[in-house]
Amino acid sequence: MNYKIVVLPGDGIGPEVVEASIPVMTEVGKKFGVSFDFDVRLFGGCSFDKFGEPVTVETLSACANADAVLLGAVGGPKWESLPHDKKPEAGLLKLRKSLELYANIRPARVYTGLAEGSTLKKEVIAGVDLVVVRELTGGLYFGQPRGMTEDKGWNTMAYTKDEIIRIAKSAFELAKKRRKTLCSVDKANVLEVSQFWRNVVLEVARDYPDVKLSHMYVDNAAMQLVRNPAQFDVILTENMFGDILSDIASMIPGSLGMLPSASLGTKYALYEPVHGSAPDIAGQNKANPIATIASIGMLFDNSLGMHIASDYIQKSIEKTLEQGYRTADIYSEGTTLLGTKEMAEKVKESFLQIFEEQPYGFAVA
Ligand code: IPM
Ligand code: MG
């Protein structure tokens, strides 16, 4: 089987982490009898520099014709003063919207041996394994009316029933496969849109009697995420709240450099590390490729239905970390410091070793 993957390395550290991670993807594919055609395209600031647009019509249509899209990161100080619709971030929003990637899945789990790296206490983060399911194509990011004049700026948070139903279903389905606990986060004590959100989530919940549903106000959720993150399994929330909460959640494992994400719709899927373009360390072979490699793991799982291959990727990351290999963001005394490329190579080596020792997958724990 051959798959068409559109690769959008983007800006800053994006190209480095993507370039380092692709060989892991190719190698895993090879062992499982699949190959990839990579269609590498400019996206974000670098696309603006060349084409005057953060994403071109051609790139959007290539993404719509691919089996999956792999993205690095976009943005940087160079493009900050551009008009709103030319900014690299606008390209990302356009891509999400045009592919209707409404479900953003952002897992945060603590790897054994890395608990020291978190700014939170070890006992607070022990055993944390949660997923933020963020609505990605509605809410404050896309609501109308929006605008800015000399003396006023405004945006609108609005959700239709259908938009809430589909994202709620994604979250319930995920919770069903996990610890069957779902926390829907809103601001229903203040916002009508949130009260509506809550009502619709309650309606959807009737189809999932085995999932334990709770509701939490977003301010409390932000506090609970640093107070006692282990209480969460799946968190469901709207676009803007999810943007903020997923950044908070990302600090639980210690580094943004570890966290993968998938943005899913009914037809298309995009995978990207949660971290940004980190222009301060770009081009120095310092960035952590693990978030990208883990995103590739999610790609195997969700887009190719290759769950076992995805498990191998996860195990390979764990093994590499257990062996004490670290990039600068997760380095501590007594561990071995590696660059971006070298870290990805180690993960590939770990994969080959694990595959040789245990070629038939893993028993379910
Ligand atoms: C994210 C980012 C984006 C967002 C930006 C880059 C547009 O912060 O993916 O979380 O706000 O969604
Ligand atoms: Mg964000």
Ligand 1 center from residue 322 Cα (angstroms): 31
Give the model's confidence band at 295: pLDDT under 50 very low, under 70 low, under 90 confident, else very high.
Answer: very high
- Cα(162)–Cα(326) distance, rounded to whole angstroms? 44
The catalytic residues are 141, 187, 219, 243, 247
Specify the ligand 1 atom closest to the Cα of 261.
Answer: 9
162/95 Cα distance (integer angstroms): 21
Nearest CA to ligand 1 atom 7: 89
Tell me how far apart the alpha carbons of residues 324 and 347 are, in angstroms, rounded to a whole number: 12
The alpha carbon of 216 and the centre of ligand 1 are apart by a number of angstroms equal to: 23
pLDDT one-digit tens code per residue, 4-29: 999 999 999 999 999 999 999 999 99
Residue 363: what pLDDT? 67
Paired with 70 in beta bridges are 7, 271
The residue count for the chain: 365
Q: What are phi and psi of 304, to 5 degrees?
A: -105, -5
3-state secondary structure the chain: CEEEEEEEEECCCHHHHHHHHHHHHHHHHHHCCCEEEEEECCCCHHHHHHHCCCCCHHHHHHHHCCCEEEEEECCCHHHCCCCHHHCHHHHHHHHHHHCCCCEEEEEEECCCCCHHHCCCCHHHHCCCEEEEEEECCCHHHCEEEEEECCCCEEEECCCCHHHHHHHHHHHHHHHHHCCCEEEEEECCCCCHHHHHHHHHHHHHHCCCCCCEEEEEEHHHHHHHHHHCHHHCCEEEECHHHHHHHHHHHHCCCCCHHHCEEEEECCCCEEEEECCCCCHHHCCCCCCCCHHHHHHHHHHHHHCCCCHHHHHHHHHHHHHHHHCCEECHHHCCCCCEECCHHHHHHHHHHHHHHHHHHCCCCCCCC
CA distance 278 to 226: 24
Mean pLDDT of the chain: 95
Atom 8, ligand 1: residue with shortest CA distance: 243
More confident residue, 101 or 332: 101
pLDDT digits (tens, 9 = 90+) for 223-267: 999 999 999 999 999 999 999 999 899 889 888 889 999 999 999
pLDDT, one tens digit per residue, over 48-81 is 999 999 999 999 999 999 999 999 999 999 999 9
Ligand 1 atom closest to residue 74's alpha carbon, by position in its atom list: 6
Question: What is the per-residue pLDDT for 32?
Answer: 95
Q: Has residue 333 got a pLDDT over 70?
A: yes
Q: Which atom of ligand 1 is nearest to the CA of 136?
A: 12
Looking at residue 112, its pLDDT comes to: 76
Label residue 318 exposed, middle or buried (CB < 10 Å: 0-12, 13-18, 19+).
middle
Q: Tell me the CA–centroid distance for residue 345 and ligand 2, in Å.
A: 28
- Residues within 6 Å of ligand 1 by CB: 89, 92-93, 243
pLDDT classification of 310: cutoffs 50, 70, 90: very high
Of all protein residues, whose CA lies closest to atom 2 belonging to ligand 1? 243
pLDDT for 113 beyond 90: no
| Token pair recorded at residue 141 | 């990011």
Q: How many CB atoms lie within 10 A of CB 43?
A: 30
The strand pairing partners of 67, in sequence order, are none
| pLDDT score for 66 | 97
Q: What pLDDT digit, counting tens, does each position of 173-205 carry?
A: 999 999 999 999 999 999 999 999 999 999 999
Q: What is the mean pLDDT of residues 20-41?
A: 97
Cross-sheet strand order for the sheet of 129-135: 35-40, 2-10, 68-73, 269-273, 260-264, 103-109, 129-135, 234-237, 181-186, 212-217
Q: Which domains does the chain have, with CATH numbers?
A: 1-101+265-365 (3.40.718.10), 103-258 (3.40.718.10)
